[in-house]
Structure 1
């Protein structure tokens, strides 16, 4: 829990962990299942256009396949 996050390894690792946790919490607040959301965006990301990255944000995201 709380005290374990004090030891993320480095400042940058802590910042990355905070960004991922914020992204997942935003997905949850937008009514998405966090695991399905993360799995889908990580699958799409390598072939996704950088100019269209906003479609992968939690408030714009639409799953390609039915959520399991």
Structure 2
């Protein structure tokens, strides 16, 4: 479906960017990761994350770390 639709992205680079975004969303869904939640977290983390450990930010690794250390809910009372 995507290949022919990318011809109408307005620019060749736009089609490549859309293909990358679709691949990322598909990878998230294949790993049981909410793509919106993942992208919001990654946009904050990637700025300061060490380049040599970039593999830790892949969706399957992100989900593994997230389930091991769930984030504190702002609605839960503290100790």
TM-score by length of 2: 0.70
Unaligned runs of 5+ in 2: 74-79
| Structure 1 residue ranges without an equivalent (≥5) | none
Runs of 4+ off more than 6 Å: none
Which residue of structure 2 lines up, in the alignment, with residue 65 of structure 1? 71
Corresponding residue of 2:16: 15
Q: Point out the structure with max Rg over C-alpha.
A: 2
What do you get for the CA RMSD once the two structures are aligned? 2.3
How many corresponding residue pairs?
Answer: 67
